[in-house]
Amino acid sequence: MNEFELINRFFKASLEDHRVLLGIGDDAALIAPIDGNVLAVSTDTLNEGRHFFSDVPPFTLGHKVMAVNLSDMAAMGAVPRFALLSGSLPDADFDWLSAFSRGFFALASKYRVSVIGGDTTRAAQGGRSFTVTIIGDVPEALALKRSGATTGDDIWVSGTIGDAALALRAMHNDLCWDAPDLARLRARLETPSPRVELGMALRGLASSAIDVSDGLTGDLSHVLKGSGVGATVFLSALPADPVLLKCLADEKTRSLALSCALAGGDDYELCFTAPPENRAAIAALSTTLNLRLSRIGVITDSQKLTVVDEQQNPISPLPASFHHF
């Protein structure tokens, strides 16, 4: 199968968006902007052996490759519209690619994202690598930047935190749980739900936002640095899976649980800040979206991040976040 057959078979979904003036099959795609909006553009790479296991089910990997990019749009309050998918592959495994593309396009279709381009190449050395570039719409004034947090703002997080990291630990056999617990957490790792609807609904409500991809404290630190502020986060307010809560309460597993909750990446929840007067609106949003939204801390003028434990003592040092290098 050559590159063009691969693209035609797996990566060329039907284009329904009238803004796609020219799709896959030319030197570049042509897309029409929307008056009054600017374009949000982001890219993310997932590498075999680094971001995913070699034996990950290809359908879930296809989902995740799209999900992590949708999550960046969510974190900007942008509507995802267009994506380009590049895959470096050591071989052309028909069954594997078929399942991968089904997972990828199922999630793309859910959010009506048109795949407008890509590049399929052979990786002469090493494993699979996927890079997606995603493009979305947002009115400039409503974009959720990392620089908008101010002293006194609440800090919020969606869903539960640390699930994906906990699943990773379990799959590495650091821990042993019941099968239903493991399946639930593993789904959080392998098929994360990008919070696209939340991001769009937070326009005008949140003062800043980021997605939790590298770990809560690390990602929140980017907001603090971007906004020139500090924060206090309350461990007892962190929304967590029952398994994580149990691990936190057990001295033997507390350190691991703290690491998952505070520094575990890959959850793709949104961490955002908002002025206290928006609490009711955010609570209402939680109901509307059927999505847990938890107030976990407050922005301070201290220029540093403090996480306090159940006894209000600062946790020091904080667990280290995921580093790509």
Region 113-152 residues binding a copy of itself, contact defined as CB under 8 A: 116-127, 129, 131, 133-136, 138, 140, 143, 145-147
Contact 162, 242 (CB under 8 A): no
CA 187 and chain centroid, separation: 14
Q: Which residue's structure tokens are 């078979």?
A: 9
Cα pseudo-dihedral 77, 80, 67, 15, rounded to 10: 170
Among 11, 31, 188, 260, binds a copy of itself (CB under 8 A): 31
- What is the closest distance, in whole angstroms, from the C-beta atom of residue 316 to a copy of itself in the complex? 21
Q: Could you give the CA distance from residue 143 to residue 42 in angstroms, rounded to a whole number?
A: 14
Based on the shown chain and the rule CB under 8 A, indicate whether residue 260 belongs to the binding site for a copy of itself.
Answer: no
Based on the shown chain and the rule CB under 8 A, indicate whether residue 323 belongs to the binding site for a copy of itself.
Answer: yes
Three-state secondary structure call for residue 216: helix
Q: Could you give the CA distance from residue 313 to residue 307 in angstroms, rounded to a whole number?
A: 8
Q: Could you give the CA distance from residue 86 to residue 183 in angstroms, rounded to a whole number?
A: 30
Contact 194, 132 (CB under 8 A): no
Within 171-200, the residues that bind a copy of itself by CB under 8 A are none
Based on the shown chain and the rule CB under 8 A, indicate whether residue 43 belongs to the binding site for a copy of itself.
Answer: yes
Angle (CA) 180-212-54 rounded to 5° is: 60
- What is the closest distance, in whole angstroms, from the C-beta atom of residue 164 to a copy of itself in the complex? 17
Based on the shown chain and the rule CB under 8 A, indicate whether residue 26 belongs to the binding site for a copy of itself.
Answer: yes
Among the residue ranges 18-26, 173-181, 286-294, 300-308, the one whose residues contact a copy of itself (CB under 8 A): 18-26
Within 208-237, the residues that bind a copy of itself by CB under 8 A are 209-211, 226
- What is the closest distance, in whole angstroms, from the C-beta atom of residue 251 to a copy of itself in the complex? 31
Q: 225 or 254: whose CB is closer to a copy of itself? A: 225
Based on the shown chain and the rule CB under 8 A, indicate whether residue 84 belongs to the binding site for a copy of itself.
Answer: yes
What separation in angstroms does the CA of 9 have from each of 14, 107, 108, 186, 276? 12, 18, 17, 30, 51
Based on the shown chain and the rule CB under 8 A, indicate whether residue 8 belongs to the binding site for a copy of itself.
Answer: no
Among 65, 66, 70, 73, binds a copy of itself (CB under 8 A): 73
Among 11, 29, 161, 260, binds a copy of itself (CB under 8 A): 29
